[in-house]
Structure 1
Amino acid sequence: MTRDDYERRMARAGAAAAEAGLAGLIVTPGPDLVWLCGYRPTAVTERLTALVIEPGRPGRLLVPVLERPDAVRAPGAAALEVVAWADGSDPCAELGAWLAPQGRYGVSDGMWALHLLGVQRSVPQGRYGALTEVLPMLRAVKDAYEVERLAAAGAAADAAYQDILGVPFAGRRECDIAADLARLLREHGHSQVDFTVVGSGPNGANPHHEAGERVIEDGDMVVLDFGGLKDGYGSDTTRTAHVGKPGAEERTVHEVVREAQQAAFEAVRPGAACQDIDRVARRVITSAGYGEYFIHRTGHGIGVTTHEPPYMVEGEHLPLVPGMCFSIEPGIYLPGRFGVRIEDIVVCTEDGGRRLNRTGRELAVVS
C-alpha cells in the first residue's frame, strides 16, 4: 500500500460521505483509521486521536503531540495534514473548530463517549451518527489487493486446519486443542489470533463456546472455529470433526449443514440481497426439520477485522457487489448433545462467488 492508495481511499470515503448527505467523517483509532491511512496508535488512551475527512479536501489528523512522531510515519500520513495538540489544551475544541457548525458527521463506532461529548459541547448544533449506520458500505467492497490479502489469510487458516487434524483429540482438553490452533495460525503467518472456538460434545451446541477444561471423548462431535489477522487482513473458518466413527444422526445433521452451506454459496451473485443468502441456507435446514436449531445469522463481512458489515441476515436488503467478502456459516445446534457448523469466506465476483477457504467440507474423523 502506497500514499496514493491511502489517498484514494480517503477520497472515496469523502465522496461516500457526500453521497450520504454527511458533512464528513470523524475517525478515531480502530479498523477504519487503519484502513483509511494506515495509522494504528501504539496505545489507545484518553488522549484524543481523530482523522477528519470532508468531501473535496485533504484529510486532517489530530494527534497528541507525544504521538506525532509515530503518526507522521504512518503510510498514509503524507497525504494528510497532521496537527498535534499538547496536554493542557482542549483537543475537543481544536477538533470542533474543524467542523461545519451545523454539519452532520459520521463517527467511528468505537469513539469514546468522553471525546464525542466534548466535540458536541464545542459544536452544539452538529449532528452525529455511527459509521456502521450512516456508511455501512465504507469498507465492504474490497479491491484486488484486499481480496489477495484475504485469500492469503484464508489459505493460512486452511493450512492450520489440515495440521490440527493430525493431532490427537481424545483424552485432551478443549483448551489444549485451542492452544494448538493458535500456535498453528501463527506458524502459518498470522500476527494476531482473534478466536479459537473448540466446542466438543454438548459444548458444540453453543456457537460461541469458549474452549474450556472439558476433556474430549471418543464419540464427540467437535466444532472448530478459528481465525485472526495475517498481514492486516482477517481469516475465519469453521469445520466440524468427529472423534472416531460417527453415528447415523451425526452424519445426517452434518450433511444438512453442508447442503445448506453449499446452497447459500451457489446463491451468491451481484444484485442478490444479503438476506437472500441467509434465506437460502435457512430454507435447507428448515426443510430438514432443524430450523429451530439454526440460531444465528448466516454470515458477516470480513476485512481488516474478522467481523464487519455486511451481514447475511434477514432484514439486510443491501445488494451484493463484486468485491464484497463475507462468511457463509450455517449451523445446527442440538442442546445438550452436539453442534455442527461449516464456514467459508466467500468473495462476490462478477458472475457468482469464489471461496477463499478450500479445505474439505465433509465430516472429518479424528482420533
Structure 2
Amino acid sequence: MSDPNPRAARLRMKMAEEGLGAVVLTHPHDVRYATGYHSILERWTQQEPFAGAIVFADEAKPAILVIPEANLGIVAVLNRDAPVCSFDEIRTFDMLNFCEVSRYVDPDRKGGQLAEDAMALAGSIRGECRGDIVAAIGAALADHGMAGKRIGFDSHRISAGIAGGLPHEFSDCLDLLMRVRVVKTAQELATYRKVGVMADRVIAHAGSLLGPGVDWNDVQAGICDFMVRNGVVPVDEGAMLFGGSYEDDEFIPDLFRTTGNRALREGDIVILETQGVLDGFWIDINRTAVVGRASEDYRRLHDILRDAFLMMVDRLRPGVSTSTLPMIGYEHLKSKGVATPEKLLVVAHGIGLMPLEIPLPFPATGLAGVKQGFVMEEDMLVSLDSLFFGAKLGPCHMENVYAVTSGAPEPMYATPLQLIETAREAEPALG
C-alpha cells in the first residue's frame, strides 16, 4: 500500500458519516483531490471524463486511479521529483486509438528514463485494459466486491453506465466532496502559502503596468504573460477580472470583464482582480488602483472600506457563520456617512481547486451562499471579497484569502490593503 494520503483519509471519514462503501470520482477537481492526478487533457473541458478515482471506505482496499493506458507516462512525470500522484492500483482503458498505437514498439526510438519510469508503473496495473472509462470503473468495482453496495458518484452517468453489470445503490456525492475539500490538509495550506507569494507578485506586476495613455488590453496581455512565465495558468486570455468599464467618460462599475474602449486617463479607477491557477490552487487577489493621484475624498472612501474589511476579517473564526459578515461592513459604511451603503457587496467563500468552494447543498452559488452562508471551521481557506459599487466617487474593491485558525486568521497574501496610485507614462508604440 502507498503512504497515507491525508486528503483520502479525510474523504474516508466523511464517507463513513454518509454510510458509503466507496466513491467514484470522475470530475477533474475530485480526481486531483483524491489522487493528485491531472493532465492537459482535463483542460480540453470535455464533458466525458478522461480519468477517474475510486476510494473505498475500507482502508484495507486499494485507492484506485483510472486512466488511459497511454497516460502512464504522465503519472511518471508527475512523480518524477515528488510523490504528487498517490494510488495503490491502476485500472486502464483505451482513449480513442492513442493507447492502441502506443502499444506498437518503434525499433528506431531509444527508450529513456521516462520510458523506464512509465514501465515501472506497470506493476500497479490490475485487470485488462478496457474499451472505455465506464467499463474500467465497473470492472474495478466488481473485482473489489462492490455489487449491491451503496456507492457515491460525482457523475450520475457513470453510475447509470455500470448499473447493468454491477447493481448498486446510487448516491450523489457532489455535496459531500465540497464539504471534504473546503477544509484543507496541512500540506494544502503549505502549498497555498507558496501560491500567496506568487499572488503578491502578480498583483504588484499588474499595478506596475498602469499609467496615463496605457491601453487596457495591453495591461491584460502583460499580466497574462507574467503569469504564464511564472507557472500560473491565467483564468483565460484576459488574465483577470476588470471591475467595470469606461464608456466614453462614464465609468460603469457593475460590469465585469468588459473590453476597455479607450486608453487609461489620469484619475481613472481600475479594479485589479488577478485570477489564475498555480499548483492546482486558485489565486484570487483584488486591489483598487487609481491612475495618477486619487482625490482626498476617494482616498477616505477607500480607507473606510478597508477598515470595514478588517472588522470582517477579525470574524473569520471557527464557529462563526459567513452570513454575519456583510452586516458588519454595511453598518460601518453607514456609520461613516457613506452614501448607499447597500451597494457594498460582501462574499466570503472557500477557495482551493475551484475559485468558489461553498459547502452548502447544490445549488450553492445562489443567494443562499451569502444569506445562509456557512459555519467556518479550522483549516478552511476563506476568500473575503468586498466590493463597493459606489457611484458618486467610484467603486472600491479588495479581496484576500485567509486560513481559519484557532486564533486570528492567517493571511495568505502580504500585499497591503492600500490604494494603488500610479502615474507611469505610456511607452511609445512599436512600429
Q: TM-score, normalised by structure 2?
A: 0.72
More deviation in 174-183 or 237-246?
Answer: 174-183
Name the structure 2 match of 1:356: 412
Question: What is the match of residue 91 of structure 2?
Answer: 83
Query: 1:80 Cα deviation (Å)?
Result: 2.0
Match of 2:14 among 1, 4, 16: 16
Which deviates the most, 136-145 or 341-350? 136-145
Specify the SS of the correspondent of 2:200. Answer: helix
1:114 Cα offset (Å): 5.2
Residue 111 of structure 2: aligned partner: none
Q: Say if 2:364 is the partner of 1:328.
A: no
Aligned to 1:192: 233
Q: How far, CA to CA, are the matches of 1:104 and 1:206 in structure 2?
A: 46
**Within 2, Cα distance between the matches of 1:211 and 1:299?**
27
Count of equivalent residues: 357
CA deviation vs aligned residue, 1:2-55 (integer Å, no higher than 9, x gap): x525x3322331221111233322111512212221211342454653211120
Aligned CA distance change for structure 1 residues 330 and 93 (closer, same or farther; 3 Å): same
Map 1:27-38 to 2 at 5 A. 27-38=25-36
1:265/1:353 contact within 8 Å kept: yes
Cα gap change, 1:258 to 1:19, in 2 (>3 Å): same
* In structure 1, C-alpha distance between the alignment counterparts of 2:398 and 2:413, rounded to whole Å: 11
Residue aligning to 2:180: 138
- CA RMSD in angstroms comes to 3.1
Shift of 1:360: 1.9
Q: Is the 8 A contact 2:308 2:333 kept in 1?
A: yes
Within 5 A, what are the aligned runs for 1:255-334?
A: 255-285=303-333, 288-295=338-345, 297-310=346-359, 313-318=370-375, 320-334=376-390
Cα distance change, pair 161–48 in 1 and its aligned pair in 2 (3 A): closer
Shift of 1:71: 4.4
Q: CA deviation at 1:281?
A: 3.2
Aligned twin of 1:229: 277
**Structure 2 residues not aligned, in runs of 5+:** 96-129, 361-368, 424-431
Task: Indicate conservation of the 8 Å contact 2:53/2:65, yes or no.
Answer: yes
Judge conservation of contact 2:308–2:328 (CA < 8 Å) in 1.
Answer: yes
Match of 1:55 among 54, 57, 66: 57
Q: For structure 1, list consecutive stretches of 5 or more residues without a partner in the other structure.
A: none
Q: Is the 8 A contact 2:159 2:170 kept in 1?
A: no
Tell me the secondary structure at the aligned position of residue 234 of structure 2: strand
* 1:107 equivalent in structure 2: 153
- Give the structure 2 partner of residue 70 of structure 1: 74
Q: Compared with structure 1, are the counterparts of its residues 216 and 89 closer, same or farther at alpha carbon in structure 2 (3 Å cutoff)?
A: same
3-state secondary structure, aligned to 1:222: strand
Match of 2:126 in 1: none
- Give me the TM-score of the superposition, normalised by structure 1: 0.83
Going from structure 1 to structure 2, the CA distance change for 1:285 and 1:136 (only over 3 Å counts) comes to farther
| Cα pair distance change 1:20/1:282, threshold 3 Å | farther
Cα offsets for 1:305-326 (capped at 9, x unmatched) = 43323587221233x2221112
Which of 120, 145, 169 is residue 126 of structure 1 equivalent to? 169
Taking the aligned partners of 1:235 and 1:354, their CA distance within structure 2 comes to 16
Query: Deviation string for 1:54-76 (max 9, x for gaps)?
Result: 20122222333333443476546
Q: Does 1:182 align with 2:181?
A: no
Q: Give the distance between the partners of 2:313 and 2:89, measured in 1 at CA.
A: 44
Deviates further, 198-207 or 236-245: 198-207
Secondary structure at 2:395 match in 1: strand
Question: What does 1:149-188 align with in structure 2 at a 5 Å threshold?
Answer: 149-187=191-229
- Summarize the Cα distance change of 1:313–1:89 in structure 2 as closer, same or farther, 3 Å threshold: same
Counterparts of 1:91 and 1:364, CA distance in 2: 50
Contact 1:197 1:224 (C-alpha < 8 Å) held by counterparts: yes
SS at match of 2:275: strand
Alpha-carbon distance between aligned partners in 2 of 1:78 and 1:354, rounded to the nearest angstrom: 29
State the structure with more CA Rg: 2
Mapped to 2, the partners of 1:47 and 1:154 lie a distance apart of 30
Match of 1:253 in 2: 301
In structure 2, relative to structure 1, the CA distance for the partners of 1:120 and 1:291 (3 Å cut) is farther
Question: Displacement, 1:361?
Answer: 1.4
CA positional deviation for 1:128 = 3.0
Q: CA deviation at 1:286?
A: 5.5
Letter aligned with residue 355 of structure 1? P
Residues 300 and 210 of structure 1: CA distance in aligned 2, closer, same or farther (over 3 Å): farther
Tell me, yes or no, if the aligned pair for 1:17 and 1:135 is still in contact at 8 Å.
Answer: no
SS in 1 for 2:264: coil
Take 1:66 and 1:280, find their aligned partners in 2: how far apart are those partners?
54
